[in-house]
Structure 1
């Protein structure tokens, strides 16, 4: 769920004369209209490098939630062992997470068909840069001046339809086949598609959002922007997103999870660095 008090991650050793950024973080994760939550989120940081991840499991209770938790653990532990923004290294983290999910599928039963989407953002607080990687339709957004300047492109059937000019983004959001994924972690026969962004510079007042499809699908980019512009900080934004999702919800609506990261000039906040809270594992 959303935390009552957002917290700030600070650079432990800023480069002399360079702009020092701090990241204020808040989160939201709810089961929606489902009987359990297959979404997970988490973070790791060492004062310079920060990794945040959101994973959305599929495959039923005891399956999807397990897959998402495996992905979170694999990606964050791998990043902690060798933190950095190397694009191929980040790709390998998701490839290893895929192998880890497949290994657990061998136990059979409810785990045999489990899958998980994933989106990872890796940030360098010394060089003020981010690289993200994803598979599936969990998204990362970079907002600047209250507007999205770049986001991940879903690995889904409707996204291919958008790319082909058959429908627009709004029609894709409402399309009956919007949940048909072309890639997710949990397969060795047909390796999942993994997209890694170029290195992107970050600036004061930028906002990053990582979220599962349970957030962006019912709201759309217009609502994300409108609520962002009227929010003084990430805590209030998470509250507004929660309210909007509930207001637009249909029976049996999806789990929804979001991690918001607001970038401030160093020295604006005094909170003590602490781990990002995580929902209990399966």
Structure 2
């Protein structure tokens, strides 16, 4: 009896949410798209008066996805071009609308090549990307914030960065003045069965500690359950703190698994 020829393919189990917190508007935005065996996930957290942050975040997200769908490719150069297109779109809107001159947005993007089992990421600001392997954090993007600069200089403790008074002072964001450019991983990250990514705005990660992210991943079996459990912990941490307000909070959870498919 002939047996079908099987191969291992990488399956993406992705979940997302975005919530307003106690703010008047939600200035976070997120989206993702698939083209053949490529997937692009992008998340933004906007700032600026007159709804500017909401506009900047949505413009940036839409631009990245538009460029990816039109020119889907897996390379650091391609990923950089997606973010450059977002930078251009936000800059054009700022020039055309006086009320939006102060708007800017963080951005984080993950590009996954399922066929070749690898990934790239890029970011500006303090929207974070965590990579997990065997349930533990393997890598994390570095915030473009004044607090992170003080940590790098040995003048502040990373474990206390969530409470640092300069944590929200960013030196890189789409729409912000200056010569900062998107930070893109130079080399592709090899992916394995069981790897995972968490992409989240500061309104999420400031209330979920790294060991809690790992615990939630280890005790759930889907991206949806992982996100839900982390958010429950965030709500508990907020309730036991002295915080009165909660920022917008948004996240992607991406779990990667091997599955057998026919050739």
Settle same-fold status: TM greater than 0.5: yes
Aligned partner of residue 79 in structure 2, secondary structure: helix
2:172 is aligned with 1:183: yes
Gaps of 5+ in 1: 1-15, 269-282
- 5 Å-filtered alignment, 1:61-76, equals 61-76=50-65
1:85: how far off? 2.1
Gaps of 5+ in 2: none
2:251 is aligned with 1:263: no
CA distance in 2, matches of 1:267, 1:215: 35
For the aligned residue pairs, the C-alpha RMSD in angstroms reads 1.7
Instruction: Specify the structure having the higher radius of gyration (Cα).
Output: 2
2:133 is aligned with 1:140: no
- 5 Å-filtered alignment, 1:18-167, equals 19-167=8-156
2:220 to 223, 231, 240: 231
State the TM-score, normalized to the length of structure 1: 0.85
Q: Which residue does 1:192 correspond to in 2?
A: 180
CA distance in 2, matches of 1:61, 1:248: 31
CA distance in 1, matches of 2:198, 2:36: 20
State the TM-score, normalized to the length of structure 2: 0.91
Aligned residue-pair number: 252
1:136: how far off? 0.6
CA distance in 1, matches of 2:260, 2:35: 18
Cα distance change on mapping 1:168 and 1:45 into 2, 3 Å: same
Moved over 6 A (4+): none
